Structures are given as C-alpha cells and as structure tokens.
Amino acid sequence: MFDRPIAIRGGSLFDGTGKPPIPNSTIVIISSKITEVGSVGKVQIPTNAEIIDATGKTVIPGFIDSHTHFILMGVRKLTTVDLSGVRSISEIVDKVKSRLTELPTGTWLTGHGWDESSWKETRYPTKADLDPASPENPVVLTPCYGHLMAVNSVALELAKITKKTPDPPGGKIDRDPITNEATGILREEATEVIDLVRPPTTKETQLSGIQKACEIVLSKGCTSIHELESTPIDINTYQTALEKGFLKIRAYVMPEARFTEAMLDGLEALGVRTYFGNEFLRIGSVKIYIDGSMGAHTAVFFKSYADEPSTKGIFAISPEELKHRVLRAHNLGMQVAIHAIGDRAIDEALNAIEAALEQEPRKDHRHRIEHCEVLTEDQILRIKQLKVVVSMQPNFVGEWGQIGGMYEKRLGSNRYKLNNPYKKLLNEEITIAFGSDCGYCPPWPFNPMYGIWAAVNHPIKESRISLEEAIKCYTLNGAYASFEEDIKGSIEPGKLADVTILSENLSLISPENVMDAKVEMTIVNGKIQWRAE
C-alpha cells in the first residue's frame, strides 16, 4: 500500500542551493521523492495529499552532518553518565546513583568529563565516595583531561586490584597511607588494568546506540550522517541496523586506516570502493589522521603554541607514512578523509593529496580534509587548485572562537584570525561541508542549528557567511562530500524527500537569534520520522 502524497504549504523555503528563500512555497512529495517545488498557487497539489501547513515557518532540506561519531554518541548516551559541568563530588555521586537506577545490575557504568579545578573539594572522587551509590555495578569515571580514572570497589575487585597489587610500569595506584588499600584513583598506565577487564561494547549495545542516535539527530532535523571512523564491527553493525529497520537516517560510513593499514588490505581484498551501497548505507572515504587536537596541544603548526612555546604539536603518523596511505587508498578507488587541524598538518595533507593525484590523476576525487581549522591564504588557494573538500565544524567556533577562548589562547591574537575562514573559502568556490564531531566532543548537545548560528555569527566578522550559505554547507555541500548531490541535499524536483520544518520564519529573524527556530518536523525518504509534541 502506498502512502498518501504530502504537500508542505506556506513556508519560507531555503532550498539548500544557497539561493534566496521562496517566501510562500509549496513542496509536493510523492512516495520517497520531491516531485514539485514552487510558490503557493503555482504548484498543483494532488487531491489526496496530506497537507502540512508551514505558514510562518521555514522549510529546509534535512541536515547532513558530515562529521559524526554516530554509534559512539548513541552508545555513550545509553551507557555513560555525563559529568561535564558537575560542581562537587556529591553531585557526581548523585548522578551515578540516578543513572544506575536505569541500568541492569552488573552493567559497567562509565562517566566522563569532570573538572575538579573549580570545586571546593580539591581532590578526586574515590571509592569511598562512590561505593554507597554503587554496591553492585562497576563504575569507572574519567576527568575531561583524561590520564586518570576514579573507580569503585566493584571495579577494583573485577580488576583484581588489592593492597598487594604493585604499581604497573608507568602507572600509579593511589593508596590509603595507613591501610595501603587502593583508594580507587588509578593514574596513567594503571588505568589499563581496568580497560583489560571492561567488556567491549557488544553488537546489541551498538545497535541500541544507533537507534538512540537516530532519535537524537532526527529531533534536531538531521536526515543524513557521515560516520567518521568505522571498524569492521561498526560496518557490520550498520548493515544489521539497516536490515532490522533501525537505521532511520542515511549513513555514509568511513572505514578507518588510523592506526594500521589493515583496513586498506581488507578493501583491496574485497575490491570495494567509495560509494558502494544504497541510498541509506554507503561505504564512504578512508579516514586517516595526521595530527591531534588544539585542546591537547597536539595539532601540528609551523610555529609554537602561544600558550605552550615548547611545542608545535605532534604528528599522529609521519608525513611520509601519510603520503603512503593516501596514495594506497587513492589507488584503490577510495576517497580519503584526512584529519588535519594545524597549518603544518594541513600542508602535509595537501602534499599527500597532491602527490597521489600526480601519480594517478583522477578528476572527481573529492578528497577531504577533516576539521581544517587554521589555514593560511596560500593553503586556501592550494585547496581550490587541488579541488579538496573541507569538512568543518562550526560548533567549534561557537565554543572556542570568542576572544579569550581556547583558539585565541592556543594561537595568539594574530594567528587566531586564521581560524575557520568560512567566507574566504566560499569566495574561492571551495566546498565546505559542515558537521558536528558529535560523540567525541560532547560538551555541547547535538544541534546543527547551533552550528548554523556559529557560522553566521563568527566572532571574526570577515569569516561570517550568510544564512543561505550556512544552510547549504549543512545540506547540499554535505551531499557533495559523499558524491550524492544529484540525489539529495536540496529541495528540488527529483531529489529524495528529506525535509525539515523549523518553527520560525528564518527570513524574519536576525542572525543572532536563528537558534530560536526549533525543529518541528523531520521527513526522511518521504516519511515523517519525527515531529515536535
């Protein structure tokens, strides 16, 4: 049985192409496709159509998030407790206690993100704090800066850590000075002992994670995601999720070749290339790393960090190794996506792509640089010349871009001006695909509208882009980044019916207030998958 056609009538239409909005629009959806688009009165609505009144609202293509850690976001939401922003040890204990009421006995609870520097207690939470709240479940908590764990007695028992256990090489087990009992604080290599006994995430949990993550992103108007670094297990889980009907959005799944070349061997053995799959699940690009993060001072720059003059960052793999992996992936017919944040790392990423193209020219490669946060004018021109797609996360600008924020601290006041130069990139007709990095960077909740807000209100005025441009970066350009711009990413006849309706008319809202527009409805493949209560 066929669903009734849908007609969305009266909304202000930002169609994803960057064109000015159509103020009073009608969109007709039949089955999975958009069949007609135009002004009210100019479009014939099928007589049996379900009419959705969008008067006073905005209609956009479903968001395409080009950089997610989607399974991880869902799994973390289900099995962990978020400790960012907690202000005391008792608040941590309360959060652990209430989270455990939702989990079966014996399940491991992990928590992440505390920062004790602002607490009145100048110490870490210990097993003495955690035990009364967690008598039956192992609990493992980590601070936002990593490097240590606070665990409860159940976890210590499972890891067989007793007062007789010696400190492992490179690690330290904190002990009570009188009884010599472990306090529950494990530092550096001592945390490995817990990692060894903690069960890996099961496929069932991953499947539940995909379902949870679908709920989260659909409620924020997102209809497609790019999953950034996928293991064979992840890819297998995606296929199962598709078969079971759990995958409610479209996924472009990127095999990772971060630590080894094993994935490249596998792709070569199988003969599978980028774009293999269907409209809901495809094999994407090979993900490779060249540097780290600015937060950890490991993104690689030509000059030292302003707030840590002893370092210019750390390469994750050598530039030679990067060249080798990029060339190999390129020769296998894969798109590559290189994580590169600092200007030096971006240079090496461009060198590797250039070298691969010189050896084996390919017209429409669409090789990507992920993050691409600090870049010079010369690099912008090289990106244009090499036709590289940049995959950027405007929510980083929202979080770290203010004067006095993390970018300025790390980069100093001059180099700071080079961060995320959206306008300059668009002026050179470079494709920017927007994403969130959700799953890895959870202090801010998932919300593409936050990214849109940050891009149109960039703290550096010359880097701001228009609302139409920002929406295009979060829709049609994301489709381009996965070779799918002919089938999705804009509201045009013949495209897949992935459509989001926002509560306000964005044409009438000032740039500072675009976040007032909330998601009211999300349509995927012609079906209403989410609507606001």
Nearer to Zn ion (CB atom), residue 7 or residue 228:
228
With beta carbons less than 8 A apart as the criterion, state whether 167 and 157 touch.
Answer: no
* CA–CA separation, 74 and 205 (whole Å): 9
Nearer to Zn ion (CB atom), residue 437 or residue 469:
437
Read off φ and ψ for residue 316, nearest 5 degrees.
-75, -40
With beta carbons less than 8 A apart as the criterion, state whether 281 and 239 touch.
Answer: yes
Nearer to Zn ion (CB atom), residue 335 or residue 490:
335
Nearer to Zn ion (CB atom), residue 337 or residue 471:
337
Nearer to Zn ion (CB atom), residue 68 or residue 137:
68
CB of 368 to Zn ion, least distance (A): 12
With beta carbons less than 8 A apart as the criterion, state whether 284 and 226 touch.
Answer: yes
Residue environment code for 273-308, b if the CB has 16+ CB neighbours within 10 A, otherwise e: ebbebeebbbbbbbbbbbbbbbeebbbbbeeebbee
With beta carbons less than 8 A apart as the criterion, state whether 54 and 501 touch.
Answer: yes
CB of 339 to Zn ion, least distance (A): 7
CB of 68 to Zn ion, least distance (A): 8
Burial of 130 (0-12, 13-18, 19+ CB in 10 A): buried
Taking each continuous run of H as one helix and of E as one strand, the counts in the chain are 17, 23
Tokens of 348: 């090496």
With beta carbons less than 8 A apart as the criterion, state whether 94 and 100 touch.
Answer: no
Nearer to Zn ion (CB atom), residue 287 or residue 382:
287
CB of 229 to Zn ion, least distance (A): 7
Torsion over CA: 97, 102, 107, 112 (sign) = negative
Question: Which residues contact Zn ion (rule: CB under 5 A)?
Answer: 228, 437, 440
Q: What is the CA radius of gyration of the chain?
A: 24
CB of 365 to Zn ion, least distance (A): 21
Closest CA to 488 of 279, 285, 283: 279
CB of 99 to Zn ion, least distance (A): 25
CB of 222 to Zn ion, least distance (A): 16
CB of 275 to Zn ion, least distance (A): 21
Read off φ and ψ for residue 310, nearest 5 degrees.
-80, -10
Nearer to Zn ion (CB atom), residue 276 or residue 440:
440
Nearer to Zn ion (CB atom), residue 119 or residue 440:
440
Nearer to Zn ion (CB atom), residue 11 or residue 451:
451
Nearer to Zn ion (CB atom), residue 259 or residue 302:
259
Read off φ and ψ for residue 6, nearest 5 degrees.
-120, 140
Looking from the CA of 76 toward its CB, the CA atoms found within 13 Å total 20
Strand pairing class (519-524; 527-531) = antiparallel
Cβ-closest position to Zn ion = 437
Nearer to Zn ion (CB atom), residue 174 or residue 437:
437
E runs forming strands in 242-330: 250-255, 281-283, 286-289
Say which amino acid occupies 95: K
Nearer to Zn ion (CB atom), residue 73 or residue 241:
73
Q: CA–CA distance from 170 to each of 18, 124, 188, 189, 191 (Å)? A: 54, 20, 7, 5, 10
CB of 104 to Zn ion, least distance (A): 30
CB of 39 to Zn ion, least distance (A): 41
Torsion over CA: 294, 296, 299, 302 (sign) = positive
With beta carbons less than 8 A apart as the criterion, state whether 125 and 95 touch.
Answer: no
